[in-house]
A and B are shown apart, each in its own frame.
Chain A
Amino acid sequence: MDLPAYYEFCCRVKTISGHDVLEQIPEILGDLGARLPLIITDKGVFEAGLIDVVTSVMKDRVPCLRSGGSVETDVPPDSDLTVVNRLAGVYREKGCDAIIAVGGGSVLDTAKGVNIVVSENASDLMAFTGTGALKRPLKPLIAIPTTAGTGSEATLVAVIADHEKERKMLFNSYFLLPDVALLDSRMTLSLPPAITSATAMDALSHAVEAYTCLAKNPLSDAFARAAMELMRDNLFKVMDRPDDKGGRLSLAVAANLAGVAFSNAMVGMVHTLGHSVGAVCRVPHGMCMAILLPYGLEYNLHKNAQFTSEMLLPLGGEQIYAGTPKHRRAEKVISLIRDWNDRLFHLTKGKHARCFKEVTDPEGNAMVSRDKLKDIAIKAMGDGSIFYNPEELDVDDAMMVLIHAWEGTPLNRDLIRKG
Chain B
Amino acid sequence: MVEPENNTFLSPVKINAGREALAHIPFELAAMGAERPLLITTKVLGKKTAIPRVIDGLRGSGVPLGIYDDVGEHARLETVLRLAELFQDGGFDAIIALGSGSVMHTAKILNLAVTENTRDLVPFTAKGDRTIERLKPYMTIPASSGDGYETTSMAFVDDLAFSSQFLMPHVVVVDSEVFVPEDPLKALSGAMSALAHAVEGFVGPGKNPFVDAYAHTAIQMIVHHLADAIGGGRQWKAARSAVAAAETMAGCVFSNVKPGLTHLLALAVGQKATCPHGLCMGILLPYVLDHLSTRDDFFVDSLLLPMASPETFAITASELRTGKVLTLIQELQYALYESTQKKLPMTLEDVGIKKDQLKPMAASLADCTSNDVNGEGCLMILERALTGDPIDLN
- Least CB separation from A313: chain B residue: B310
- Least CB separation from B224: chain A residue: A1
A253-B3 Cα distance, complex, nearest whole Å: 9
Stretch of B6-14, B259-267, B353-361 lying at the A interface: B6-14
Tell me which of B4, B11, B19, B213 contacts A17 (CB under 8 A).
B4
Q: Are B16 and A8 in contact (CB under 8 A)?
A: yes
Q: Is B82 an interface residue (CB 8 A)?
A: no
Q: Tell me, rounded to whole Å, the shortest Cβ–Cβ distance linking B143 to chain A.
A: 18
Q: Are A174 and B6 in contact (CB under 8 A)?
A: no
Stretch of B26-34, B57-65, B104-112, B363-371 lying at the A interface: B26-34
Q: Are A16 and B8 in contact (CB under 8 A)?
A: yes
Tell me which of B1, B27, B221, B311 contacts A226 (CB under 8 A).
B1
- Fill in one digit per residue for B193-216: 1 if any A CB lies within 8 Å of its CB, else 0: 000000000000000011011101
Count, A-B residue pairs, CB within 8 A: 128
Given contacts A1-B225, A6-B18, contact A219 B8 (CB under 8 A): no
- Fill in one digit per residue for B165-209: 1 if any A CB lies within 8 Å of its CB, else 0: 000000000000000000000000000000000000000000001
CB interface residues, A 1-59, toward B, < 8 Å: 1, 3-12, 14-19, 21, 33
A321-B11 Cα distance, complex, nearest whole Å: 32
- Fill in one digit per residue for B295-315: 1 if any A CB lies within 8 Å of its CB, else 0: 000000000000000110111
CB interface residues, A 94-138, toward B, < 8 Å: 131-132, 134-137
Given contacts A132-B30, A173-B31, A219-B15, contact A230 B213 (CB under 8 A): no
Given contacts A12-B11, A19-B6, A21-B6, contact A135 B18 (CB under 8 A): no
**What residues of chain A lie closer than 8 Å to B288, measured between beta carbons?**
none
Q: Are B5 and A9 in contact (CB under 8 A)?
A: no
Given contacts A246-B3, A313-B310, contact A7 B213 (CB under 8 A): no
**What residues of chain B lie closer than 8 Å to A266, measured between beta carbons?**
none
A41-B112 Cα distance, complex, nearest whole Å: 37
Chain B interface residue bracket vs A: 35 or more
Given contacts A3-B242, A6-B21, A18-B7, contact A322 B314 (CB under 8 A): yes
**What residues of chain B lie closer than 8 Å to A18, measured between beta carbons?**
4-7
Given contacts A1-B225, A321-B310, contact A250 B3 (CB under 8 A): yes
**What residues of chain B lie closer than 8 Å to A257, measured between beta carbons?**
209-210, 213
**What residues of chain A lie closer than 8 Å to B17, measured between beta carbons?**
6-9
A319-B314 Cα distance, complex, nearest whole Å: 7
Q: Are A219 and B1 in contact (CB under 8 A)?
A: no
Q: Tell me, rounded to whole Å, the shortest Cβ–Cβ distance linking B347 to chain A.
A: 30
A246-B209 Cα distance, complex, nearest whole Å: 14
Q: Are A310 and B214 in contact (CB under 8 A)?
A: no
A392-B14 Cα distance, complex, nearest whole Å: 30
Q: Are B310 and A14 in contact (CB under 8 A)?
A: no
Q: Are B1 and A322 in contact (CB under 8 A)?
A: no
Q: Is B134 an interface residue (CB 8 A)?
A: yes
Chain A interface residue bracket vs B: 35 or more
- Least CB separation from A174: chain B residue: B31
Tell me which of B4, B15, B19, B242 contacts A10 (CB under 8 A).
B15
Q: Are A222 and B217 in contact (CB under 8 A)?
A: yes
**What residues of chain B lie closer than 8 Å to A137, measured between beta carbons?**
134
**What residues of chain B lie closer than 8 Å to A318, measured between beta carbons?**
313-314
Q: Is B249 an interface residue (CB 8 A)?
A: yes
Tell me which of A21, A174, A219 contacts B213 (CB under 8 A).
A219
Q: Is A295 an interface residue (CB 8 A)?
A: no
Q: Is B158 an interface residue (CB 8 A)?
A: no
A144-B355 Cα distance, complex, nearest whole Å: 55
Q: Are A14 and B10 in contact (CB under 8 A)?
A: yes
A250-B1 Cα distance, complex, nearest whole Å: 11
Q: Are A223 and B213 in contact (CB under 8 A)?
A: yes
Tell me which of B1, B14, B27 contacts A233 (CB under 8 A).
B1
Q: Tell me, rounded to whole Å, the shortest Cβ–Cβ distance linking A150 to chain B.
A: 18
Q: Is A229 an interface residue (CB 8 A)?
A: yes
- Residue ranges of B at the interface with A (Cβ–Cβ < 8 Å): 1, 3-21, 24, 27, 30-33, 133-134, 209-210, 212-214, 216-217, 220-221, 224-225, 238, 242, 249, 310-311, 313-315
Known: A218-B221, A253-B7. 5 other contacts (CB 8 A): A5-B18, A11-B210, A136-B33, A221-B217, A249-B5
**Smallest CB-CB A-B distances: 3 pairs:** A6-B18, A135-B33, A18-B6
- Residue ranges of A at the interface with B (Cβ–Cβ < 8 Å): 1, 3-12, 14-19, 21, 33, 131-132, 134-137, 173-174, 218-219, 221-223, 225-226, 229-230, 233-234, 246, 249-250, 253, 257, 310, 313, 318-319, 321-322
10 sampled A-B residue pairs with Cβ under 8 A: A3-B221, A8-B24, A9-B14, A11-B210, A15-B8, A16-B8, A18-B6, A226-B209, A229-B1, A322-B311
